[in-house]
Structure 1
Amino acid sequence: MLQIMGVYITRLRELSYFFCLMALLLGCESKQVVFPEGFQIHSDFRLQLVAAEPLLFDPVDLQFDEEGRTFVLEMPEYPNRDADSRLVELFDSDKDGVYDGRQVLDGKLGIASSFIPYKKGFLVASPPFLLWNSDTDGDGIIDSHQKLMDGFSTGNLQHNFNGLNYGLDNWIYAANGGNSGEPFFVGHSEEAIDLRGGDFKFDPERKRLVRIGESSGGFKLTFDDWGRMYETHNLEHVSQLVFQDRYLEGLPLASPHALANISDHEDHGLARIYPIGEQDTRVNHPEQAGYFSGACGITHYGGGAFPMAYNNSLLVADCVLNLVHIDALSNDGGAMKASRIIDKAEFLASNDRSFRPVNMSVGPDGALYVIDMHREVIEHPEWIPDELEVAMDLEAGKDKGRIYKITPKDEWSPITFDLDLSDTPSLVSAMGSANQWIRLTAQRLLVTNKITSAIPLLFEALNKSNNPLGRLHLYWTLEGLGALESPQLKMALRDSIPEIRENAIKIAERYLNSENEMVEDIITLTKDSDAKVRLRAALALGTLEDKIYHENGAAILEALSRMVSVMPNDEWATKAIAATMQRQALPFSLSILEQNKGQVTGVRLSILAMLADKMAKEGDLDALTTLVLVCHERKIQATSQTVLIEAMVKGWEKRTETERFSTDPTKLL
């Protein structure tokens, strides 16, 4: 009772202060929203301050649970580790859209910088641990602290693992952040994985942990409506993990990953941005003035409330230059492309040098929430020259923090939703929402709570659905519940929407080694009209077990030979095809040479070089000899033959000294 009264009194005091503040800002007789001073935002949007000190301090992450409640992670220990992160719930008691109360749920979260709601609690990224904290007695205070994982590194706080996201495939994803580590589920240290600078995903129920691919090393990752993953870090404001590293295993590549900078507006490797007011820059890199240097908080807008031109967009903050940038996403072969929407201006900018947008969140209402840590100095002292640091107050702003809400300027009303766990039909229905958060939250609730009673309703909805995004979530929810059946999966592989076919191939990978008829379906999809579907089909064929692969070897060889013959230059399809054809390196190489008598360039030459490197590394001199002879017989141009010989030399040099001297390479002569 004393605890509850203490919270109530604290909230009364804060409410009193907050209403006095709002009275000063808005006037006693007006509830009209006043545009915050010192900001510029695109004319199609409205900016509103919805939380500020003393209600909020040092915010770095914001999440909503299925009831629409708002939770914020505060990080007062940055950068000196002199306090603990706090998980706070914010309240809007009078429902006017402005927060007026707070309650600390958990004040001892170490150096946490990311969290998400999960079941009846929260997953919290607090190195060296991943925590699952919950309120078991319903009093509003976290009282259960469970360490799910251990082994994350605890270096520079800027580089903690972060960006927890529930993925479309029902795994939970996280950004490496740069500190890496060798994480493992508690009690299973023998299964630790070396992150090696990579991002990862995990399944808390099955205790599975997988490195997925090269990390940008930045703060946060995000997914678009179709499950494609994007990252950010300082100078490189938008990267895409086109596909996971596992597909490239065994393929000799200088950079064996598929993380790509997808910005189309770079200037000598940097993206120009447009701050307002007096420009700052990173104190250790003055040459970066006017360009991205503190990119963070990348967020996909899938809220369903913004004007059409801003849907399916990526927002990236620069916490050094006090702004939020926006890019439109479009197809670019096997990858995506990020293009500036607003010419020579930013989506949101401030002349307040203490405005530090570090993160963003799209709410169930369709609004965009911008998280302002509000510090005079945002750079970690590790990166500040000593002679400059002595004149700086690294503590300035620790008693501040702001949240801004961005909505369309005209004709906007909050999106409504009903995600009642006891109302299964409403959860199934929610998958038809225009709001990405609502769709994904409904899916998460059904899958993580194992609501199998929803399965008949999911099948019924699937058979009736005319909503592509709704169908997408229905398929993945059925897969997450272990209920997706072969007829429905085959239906997805033939869907009229290419993004659904693309996702169906991802699901089908799990069944290919037991259903040969489905392998034939994937082979057929290598002829698809959509580049990403063809890419995904080529990757999937590379996941087949040896026995199944070789049983279908002739069909795979024919299909990918045909794919190469009509394929435009595409780095990702090139790597995918080479990776899948490693097990038929010589026959596939000869097929390419047969198609291109005398002229082998571009993607075809790239594939031949990768496979020549592979054959040389394996010491297959007979195959290399055949390749050289056929190149000579086909009168392949000398420059291309030189490229292939150089690839063979590289591959040969990768062999151990014993391996090199056990075989006579002069046979090639």
Structure 2
Amino acid sequence: RGQWGLSHDDAGRLHYNYNWSQLHADLVPPNTLSRNKNHRPTTGIDQGLTIDRRVYPIRPTPAVNRGYIPGTLDSSGRLLEFTAACSPLVYRGTALPAAFQGNVFVCEPAGNLVKRNVVETNGPHLTAKDPHPGREFLASTDERFRPVSLASGPDGALYVADMYRGLIQHGAYVTPYLRNQTLARKLSQPVHRGRIWRIVPANWRATTPRKGSKIPSEVLVRELANSDGGLRDLAQRLLVERADRRVIPALARLASAGADPLARFHALWTLDGLNASDPALLLPLVSDPNPLVATTAQRLLEPMAKTDESVRTKLGEKLMREWATAPIEHILQMALTAHVLDPNTSQPLLAGIVGRYGNSALIRDAVMSSLFRQEFTFLQNLWQAPTWQTPEPFREIFLEMLSSAVVRNGNPDELTALLTLLDQPKLGWRERAALTGLAMGGSGKRKPIPLPSAPRLLTRSDGAVEPSRMQALSVLFEWPGYRADAVRVVAKNPLSADDQKILALGRQHYLSTCAGCHGTDGAGLHRFAPPLVGSDWVLGDEKRLALILLHGMEGPVEVAKRMYDVPDILPVMPAHSTMDDGAITAILTYIRNEWGNEAGPVSRRTVGMTRITSQGRVMPWTAPELNRYVSEAR
């Protein structure tokens, strides 16, 4: 995860970053969204917490590797945005004031500074913001100040490892520009001058650290309630390492009736580390009013529920009773936990969750994660449900996700039944969504799926299936008397098998990120965004299109000879710079080759180079400004 540095918050959520994007996090426990091999999640993991890449050095910083590229430095020669972000640290110490608890600090050695981010929680989601735009938490006028690693010490202080040298770029990547800067300004020396800084308030008094090995186990149990997160982690680790089972009763009491939710959280994981988790303790905690305690109990019950029918039944009954009134954090974990339940329990539970919370892309991915090889049965159940007879964007998206998973599973009987279900005199919104899912889920399949007989839907002569969908489906299946390899698909810009896989991934990212404004069909949504179908912004210069996703766009825009402006569309399309090059490449390839668009694929190199050459751009583009920039760059 990320490039350099990994930290976690009080709830155990992982935080990391990339040199160009300062702060990302996992919103769910590792590997929980990827259980379904027929579905690829696009949310919850590697979520960018802020699109703010701006940094504020207090001295000129010409000695950065790409300082020669316009937009890297401002008019005074100072770095404009992150280029070497590393070592994010969730501060959980006690030396700094309470307002700093849970903040995330990020090193930027190329800018001689440390950035502070205030993280805000909204249900299961996290966002971050700079509390003092224009001024950094720590910055130096010494260009050899190179903060590269952060830590919270046992004294609660914030520690900064300073590499302290002029040149920090890896030798293989030093540009001629940086080499000349280094030699001209004698930055190659001195070396071996690294130091560690301790950051504390002015009147702070250090406490004498205790040797963990000398602390009695019963005292360590009490330390699980320490206000310092690092000391809580230490106490938990030492208790597990000692394997002193005499503390199990005290841990159980703390977990069930402790006053501090974080202490209870640590007590539960300590019991798990001692192989002392007990369903008699955990099952009542599933109903705990604190979401962190309740979700932790659920997670710890999962391995027991897999092997113990009694635990599985009791857990399922509790979740079915409580999901309708549970907070959203608990709902998310219920969706993830459902994979261990019997289908007669998990299916109605997941149907209720996706029916109420399906507008959340994260919830949709969580539900899909628990449906491995049950997707078609789940689709059939939703198809009969009264609430799923009425179109809603999230319902279209979810039916498409299910259909994609069914075709990836590749079961001929299920696919035959699905095609029969879709064979209606007039295809409605559900049928169209499912056909899109089949076409996208089957993109890039190397071998056609054999069906026992010709599906009527695909052999009808009335043109019920939209031509581009029929084109994709015609090479996806074969049956007696029909061979898919005999079909010759003629396209203006044909996509290779690898491009088709990228396109299918792009559809998933599009549904999670773009469809809320541009519509599942690319036709745009009134009051939100203009259409993508037939848009020159989509079909034209691919670098220009990449710049829109990277930096956003604002103001009026002309699409298909019609001018769009507020209030018909939102005033600003936000930047998506926290997405990696692969995700942006997939989205661009998708929208340029869907809905009748035939502009061909976009390469990952194009996106990567566009990101680099537009470094320093921190505001959305206007249409005239973007066109001028692209024209001048040619």
Aligned 8 A contact 1:318 1:324 in 2: yes
Over the matched positions of the two proteins, sequence identity in percent amounts to 24
Among 268, 273, 278, the residue aligned to 2:55: 273
Aligned 8 A contact 1:420 1:427 in 2: no
Q: Which residue of 2 aligns with 1:65?
A: none
Matches within 5 A, 1:209-220: 215-216=1-2, 218-220=3-5
Aligned 8 A contact 2:336 2:367 in 1: yes
Q: Which residue of 2 aligns with 1:221?
A: 6
Among 106, 110, 128, the residue aligned to 1:338: 128
Q: CA deviation at 1:400?
A: 0.6
Question: Aligned partners of 2:4 and 2:123: how far apart in 1?
Answer: 27
Q: Which residue of 1 aligns with 2:198?
A: 405
Aligned 8 A contact 1:232 1:298 in 2: yes
Among 604, 607, 628, the residue aligned to 2:395: 604
Among 291, 294, 309, the residue aligned to 2:99: 309
Q: Which residue of 2 aligns with 1:510?
A: 303
Aligned 8 A contact 2:23 2:50 in 1: no
Question: Aligned partners of 1:260 and 1:224: how far apart in 2?
Answer: 15
Find the residue that maps to 1:230 and give its secondary structure.
strand
Letter in 2 for 1:284: R
Question: Aligned partners of 1:488 and 1:522: how far apart in 2?
Answer: 16
Query: Is the alpha carbon distance of 1:602 and 1:306 closer, same or farther for their aligned partners in structure 2, counting shifts above 3 Å?
Result: farther
Matches within 5 A, 1:488-499: 488-499=281-292
Find the residue that maps to 1:403 and give its secondary structure.
strand
Find the residue that maps to 1:306 and give its secondary structure.
coil
Query: Is the alpha carbon distance of 1:652 and 1:664 closer, same or farther for their aligned partners in structure 2, counting shifts above 3 Å?
Result: farther
Aligned 8 A contact 2:91 2:103 in 1: yes
Among 40, 47, 50, the residue aligned to 1:264: 50
Deviation sequence 1:235-290 (CA, Å, 0-9, x none)? 11111123323542444456667423332343xxxx22222121347413644441
Question: Aligned partners of 1:618 and 1:463: how far apart in 2?
Answer: 42
Q: CA deviation at 1:357?
A: 0.7
Query: Is the alpha carbon distance of 1:588 and 1:401 closer, same or farther for their aligned partners in structure 2, counting shifts above 3 Å?
Result: same
Unaligned residue ranges in structure 1 (runs of 5+): 1-214
Deviation sequence 1:111-156 (CA, Å, 0-9, x none)? xxxxxxxxxxxxxxxxxxxxxxxxxxxxxxxxxxxxxxxxxxxxxx
Among 201, 219, 230, the residue aligned to 1:437: 230
Deviation sequence 1:422-450 (CA, Å, 0-9, x none)? 52222112111000111111111111222
Query: Is the alpha carbon distance of 1:648 and 1:451 closer, same or farther for their aligned partners in structure 2, counting shifts above 3 Å?
Result: same
For normalisation by structure 1, the TM-score amounts to 0.60
Q: CA deviation at 1:510?
A: 1.7
Aligned 8 A contact 1:316 1:325 in 2: yes
Query: Is the alpha carbon distance of 1:617 and 1:465 closer, same or farther for their aligned partners in structure 2, counting shifts above 3 Å?
Result: closer
Q: Which residue of 1 aligns with 2:247?
A: 454
Aligned 8 A contact 1:356 1:375 in 2: yes
Aligned 8 A contact 1:597 1:636 in 2: no
Aligned 8 A contact 2:22 2:85 in 1: yes
Deviation sequence 1:551-571 (CA, Å, 0-9, x none)? x21221111111112115322
Query: Is the alpha carbon distance of 1:561 and 1:396 closer, same or farther for their aligned partners in structure 2, counting shifts above 3 Å?
Result: same
For normalisation by structure 2, the TM-score amounts to 0.63
Q: Which residue of 1 aligns with 2:525?
A: none
Aligned 8 A contact 1:525 1:533 in 2: no
Query: Is the alpha carbon distance of 1:602 and 1:325 closer, same or farther for their aligned partners in structure 2, counting shifts above 3 Å?
Result: farther
Q: Which residue of 1 aligns with 2:66?
A: 284
Q: CA deviation at 1:396?
A: 2.6
Q: CA deviation at 1:234?
A: 0.5
Aligned 8 A contact 1:597 1:634 in 2: no
Question: Aligned partners of 1:224 and 1:415: how far apart in 2?
Answer: 25
Aligned 8 A contact 2:113 2:136 in 1: yes
Aligned 8 A contact 2:279 2:301 in 1: no
Query: Is the alpha carbon distance of 1:318 and 1:628 closer, same or farther for their aligned partners in structure 2, counting shifts above 3 Å?
Result: same
Structure with a larger share of its residues in helix: 2
Aligned 8 A contact 2:423 2:456 in 1: no
Aligned 8 A contact 1:421 1:427 in 2: no
Find the residue that maps to 1:231 and give its secondary structure.
strand
Q: Which residue of 2 aligns with 1:645?
A: 435
Aligned 8 A contact 1:598 1:635 in 2: no
Find the residue that maps to 1:611 and give its secondary structure.
helix
Query: Is the alpha carbon distance of 1:560 and 1:438 closer, same or farther for their aligned partners in structure 2, counting shifts above 3 Å?
Result: same
Query: Is the alpha carbon distance of 1:518 and 1:314 closer, same or farther for their aligned partners in structure 2, counting shifts above 3 Å?
Result: same
Question: Aligned partners of 2:334 and 2:431: how far apart in 1?
Answer: 30
Query: Is the alpha carbon distance of 1:282 and 1:359 closer, same or farther for their aligned partners in structure 2, counting shifts above 3 Å?
Result: same
Among 522, 529, 547, the residue aligned to 2:326: 529
Unaligned residue ranges in structure 2 (runs of 5+): 73-78, 460-634
Q: CA deviation at 1:408?
A: 2.9
Please report the RMSD computed on the Cα atoms of aligned residues, expressed in angstroms.
Answer: 3.0
Q: Which residue of 2 aligns with 1:245?
A: 31
Letter in 1 for 2:327: D
Q: CA deviation at 1:481?
A: 0.8
Query: Is the alpha carbon distance of 1:584 and 1:595 closer, same or farther for their aligned partners in structure 2, counting shifts above 3 Å?
Result: farther
Aligned 8 A contact 1:245 1:256 in 2: no
Q: Which residue of 1 aligns with 2:157?
A: 367
Aligned 8 A contact 1:281 1:293 in 2: no
Question: Aligned partners of 2:371 and 2:167: how far apart in 1?
Answer: 52
State how many pairs are aligned: 442
Find the residue that maps to 2:218 and give its secondary structure.
helix
Find the residue that maps to 1:511 and give its secondary structure.
helix
Question: Aligned partners of 2:451 and 2:345: how far apart in 1?
Answer: 37
Q: Which residue of 2 aligns with 1:539?
A: 336
Q: CA deviation at 1:373?
A: 0.7
Deviation sequence 1:452-509 (CA, Å, 0-9, x none)? 2322332344455211111111111111111222222123322221112122222112
Letter in 2 for 1:323: L
Question: Aligned partners of 2:388 and 2:269: how far apart in 1?
Answer: 45
Structure with a larger share of its residues in strand: 1
Find the residue that maps to 2:303 and give its secondary structure.
coil
